[in-house]
Chains A and B, each alone.
Chain A
Amino acid sequence: MEKHHISTYFSHGTVLVALLVLTAITVLVAELHLGAISVGVALLVASVKGTIVLTYFMHLKYESLFYKIMVAGVLVVYTLVIIFTFFDYMFR
C-alpha cells in the first residue's frame, strides 16, 4: 500500500461548505425563472460541484496524473457524445 496523502477533516468540511454554497446559488438562480439561462447556470454550477467532488472527496487531486487524464478523458468523450447526438437531432 503506497503512502497516501491524508486529507484533513478541515479540508473535507471546507469542501462541504463550498458545495452547499453552490447548491444555494443553483436553487436561487432557478427561482429567478430566467428560462434557458437558469438551465445553463444550473448545469454549469452542477459541473463545478461535480468537479469539486471528484477533485477533493474522490481524492483525484492527489492521485497520479494517469487517473486525472483517464477521468478527464472519459468526461470529454461523454461531452462529445452529447454534442454529436444533438447535432444529429437538430439537423435531421
Chain B
Amino acid sequence: MGMWLFIFTELFLFGGLFLVYAIFRAKYTEDFHEAALELNTFIGTVNTVVLLVSSMTVAMSITAIQKGEKGRAIRLLLATIFLALIFMVNKYFEWGHKFEYHIYPGSPVLVNMPKGELLFFGLYFMMTGLHALHVLVGMVLLAVTIRQISKNKVRSDHYSLHENSGLYWHLVDFIWIFLFPLLYLVT
C-alpha cells in the first residue's frame, strides 16, 4: 500500500514534466520536431527493450521467491541489475554524444538555439536525467533485496521488500514507456 501511494506521487512528478512538455510542444511544434531529430532513435529503442526485459526478469524473480527458489530469485535479480547497468551505459553514450556537440544545460550553443529547441533539450535532459536517477535508486533497492534474500531475511513467507522493490522497478519502466515515444518518436 505504501509503495503504491509513493508510486502515485512519482506519477505526478513525472506527469507534471510530461504536461510541461505537452504544452510547449503545442507551442513550439516545429522547433520540437527539429530538436528531436538530434536524438538517436536506435539507442532509445534498445533502451526501451532493455527496460522491458528487465521488468520481466524482476517479475520472474518474485515468482521465484514465492516458490522458494532462492538461487533463481537471486540470479533473476542480478539479471535485472545487469540490464539496468546496460541502460545507464547507453545513457552515458547518448548524453556524451550530446556533450560533444556542446548540447548540455547552460551551454552557449544551447542558449543560442531557437527557443523551442532550447526548451526541448532542457526537458530532454531534465526528464531523462530524473529518470536515470530513479534507475540508480532502483538498482540499489534490487541489490539490497539480493542481500536480504541471501541472508534469508527475504523468503517465500516474507518478501514485502522484494515485492515493493519490484513495483518501484516497474514504475521506472512505466515512465520510460511514455518518455520514449514522446522524446524520440516525436516527428
Contacts and interface: CB of A to CB of B under 8 A. Distances in A.
B173 interface: yes
Given A16-B53, A23-B52, A78-B12, A7 B4 contact: no
Interface residues on B, range: 35 or more
Contact of B55 (A57, A75, A85): A57
A85 B60 CA distance: 39
B117 to A, nearest CB: 18
B26 A89 contact: yes
Nearest to A17: B56
Contact of B23 (A15, A38, A39, A85): A85
A91 interface: no
A86 B19 CA distance: 9
Contacts of A50: 174, 177-178
A42 B62 CA distance: 30
B19 A26 contact: no
Central interface residue in A9, A58, A75, A89, by most chain B CB within 10 Å: A58
Contact of A7 (B48, B63, B186): B63
B174 A53 contact: yes
Interface of A: 1, 4, 6-9, 12-13, 15-16, 19-20, 23, 26-27, 30, 33, 38-39, 42-43, 45-46, 49-50, 53-54, 56-58, 67, 70-71, 74-75, 78, 81-82, 85-86, 89
Interface of B: 4, 8, 11-12, 15, 18-19, 22-23, 26, 41, 45, 48-49, 52-53, 55-56, 58-60, 62-63, 66-67, 157-160, 166-167, 170, 173-174, 177-178, 180-182, 185-187
